[in-house]
Amino acid sequence: MEAVERIIINYDWLTFTFLGIGLMLIVVNFLDQDRLRQLLVLPFSSLYFSMYENTSDTLLKGFTILLFTASNLTLSIFVYLLFQNQYPNVLSTLKNPLLLIMGLVLLYWILRFLIGRFLAWIFDLQSLHNHAVYTKMSYYFSINLYLLVLVIFGVYYFDWQGPYIIFVMVVYLILLSIRYFHFVKFMNRYTFVSLFYFILYLCTLEIAPLLLVYKWSLG
């Protein structure tokens, strides 16, 4: 009876979180409906980047902040559900596992931002770094809009079981592959960048924050 009660409480928290994400997306849609629509089709069309230029205050706009928050919450729920299905004993030892995962996701982005800024300064790639961040974050927002729909259907219609989890992971990996394909294609325009420095910069930016978050979570 205790295990059943724990699941119900977790799903209550998920419902409130989904409602919060939904409210954020309603506000985002109100702020710029056309831009949100272009983000939805971004994995299949790069028209978004020709319509909306990156500016110095892009990351500080309400549109971006709300999408960033909604995307992080969506990804956190996805990771939480994976652990709940595969490693329930791990979650049972934590007081607020969903909040912990949200904190780790946020910590990852903070570390990634700081490391990215530092590397861009070291290799004198500030302009390139700004464009790279804008490109990758745009795809991050777009992909997590699709992930949100898949997760909601998984929680309330498919009971989040093995076959559906595999389906969601395959779709998510495909979308991530599309994201990296377009990102590499975008970076090919900057022929002045040394291939060695670019690979070093990219690998450090992608891997180092994950390792730091992983080490911190073990502690």
Contact indicator for 64, 138 with CB cutoff of 8 Å: no
* Tens digits of residue pLDDT in 134-171: 888 899 999 999 999 999 999 888 878 778 888 998 99
Measured CA to CA, the distance from residue 157 to residue 168 in angstroms comes to 14
Is the pLDDT assigned to residue 191 strictly greater than 60? no
pTM: predicted TM-score of the whole model, two decimal places = 0.82
* Predicted pLDDT of residue 77: 93
Burial string for 106-143 (b: 16+ CB within 10 Å, else e) reads eebbebbeebbeebbeebebeebbbbbbbbbbbbbbbb
Give all strands (DSSP E) within 104-175, no chain letters. Answer: none
70-96: per-residue pLDDT in tens? 999 999 999 998 888 887 787 778 788
Q: What is the pLDDT of residues 5-29, one digit of tens each?
A: 444 445 777 889 999 999 999 999 9
- Evaluate whether 76 touches 101 at the Cβ level (below 8 Å): yes
Domain assignments of the chain as residue spans, ordered by start: 2-218
Q: What distance in Å separates the CA atoms of residue 63 and residue 25, rounded to the nearest whole number?
A: 9
Please count the other Cβ atoms lying within 10 Å of the Cβ belonging to residue 184: 10
Where helices occur in 52-94 by DSSP H, the ranges are: 62-86, 88-92
Classified as helix, coil or strand, 54 is coil
